[in-house]
């Protein structure tokens, strides 16, 4: 199944079943879903989470309870600046510096209280939480289609902050955990753990992860839009 066809099917099913949560509609975004809190609780119960001190998370609504759990447990959270538009392209949320965790973990709150940092100012990442539209049991992931999640991983790898040992996880609704074959490229980061409101599954993801930025597939437009890419290229 083509990725866009799969996205549309998942978005439609979440909306028609009433399982989608605000923001509406689920189409065109990492969809929020009923049970996001329970999925975050399942993630927080597994050993990879418990051993992690530093987490990189996506900023989307369904992973809001994941970010809150991380800060409440004393973990440092990094989030990418939208579209990596600044050379200091990540936000650091340090629980020791935050008074209102509920506010700090919203999209608007993180931009207010988070400290903007470049990759050379960051700590190594123990665990990556990715937002997903769909994932299969091979660990192949479908996002919104813009490619930023995989590009963020590539940038972090270029700076030695992630490697093949960095655990990759997602939280999603059962509807989003699919049986279909999902086409992948060498730039796609595999997902090793999938947490739904009902279960925590270790996928059959390959142990290898992308080795860095695939310069040959980047367009000139994207290079011009993302300062950290130009810095690395130089």
Beta partners for 56?
Answer: 78, 128
Taking only the tens place, the pLDDT of each residue in 126-184 is 999 999 999 999 999 999 998 899 999 999 999 999 999 999 999 999 999 999 999 99
Query: Domain map of the chain by residue range?
Result: 3-233
- CATH superfamily name and code, 3-233: NagB/RpiA/CoA transferase-like (3.40.50.10420)
Helix (H) or strand (E) holding 80: strand 76-80
Q: What is the reported pTM?
A: 0.95
- Report yes or no: 10 and 25 within 8 Å, Cβ to Cβ: no
Taking only the tens place, the pLDDT of each residue in 2-56 is 999 999 999 999 999 999 999 999 999 999 999 999 999 999 999 999 999 999 9
3-state class of 199 per DSSP?
coil
Helix (H) or strand (E) holding 91: strand 90-93
């Amino acid at each position: 199944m083509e990725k866009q066809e799969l996205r549309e099917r998942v978005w439609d099913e979440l909306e028609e079943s009433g399982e989608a949560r605000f923001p509406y509609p689920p189409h065109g975004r990492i969809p929020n879903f009923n049970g996001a809190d329970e999925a975050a609780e399942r993630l927080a119960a597994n050993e990879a989470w418990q051993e992690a001190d530093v987490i990189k998370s996506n900023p989307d609504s369904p992973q809001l309870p994941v970010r809150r759990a991380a800060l409440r447990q004393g973990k440092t959270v990094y989030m990418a600046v939208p579209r990596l538009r600044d050379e200091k392209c990540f936000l650091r949320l340090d629980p020791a510096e935050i008074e209102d965790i509920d506010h700090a973990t919203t999209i608007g709150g993180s931009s207010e209280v988070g400290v903007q940092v470049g990759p050379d100012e960051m700590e190594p990442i123990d665990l990556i939480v990715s937002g997903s539209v769909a994932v299969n049991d091979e660990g192949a992931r479908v996002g919104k289609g813009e490619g930023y999640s995989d590009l963020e991983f590539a940038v972090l790898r270029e700076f030695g902050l992630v490697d093949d040992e960095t655990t990759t996880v997602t939280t999603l609704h059962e509807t989003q955990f699919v049986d279909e074959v999902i086409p992948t490229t060498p730039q796609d980061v595999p997902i090793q753990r999938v947490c739904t409101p009902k279960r925590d599954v270790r996928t059959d993801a390959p142990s290898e992860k992308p080795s860095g930025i695939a310069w040959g597939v980047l367009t000139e437009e994207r290079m011009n839009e993302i300062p950290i890419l130009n810095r690395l290229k130089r």
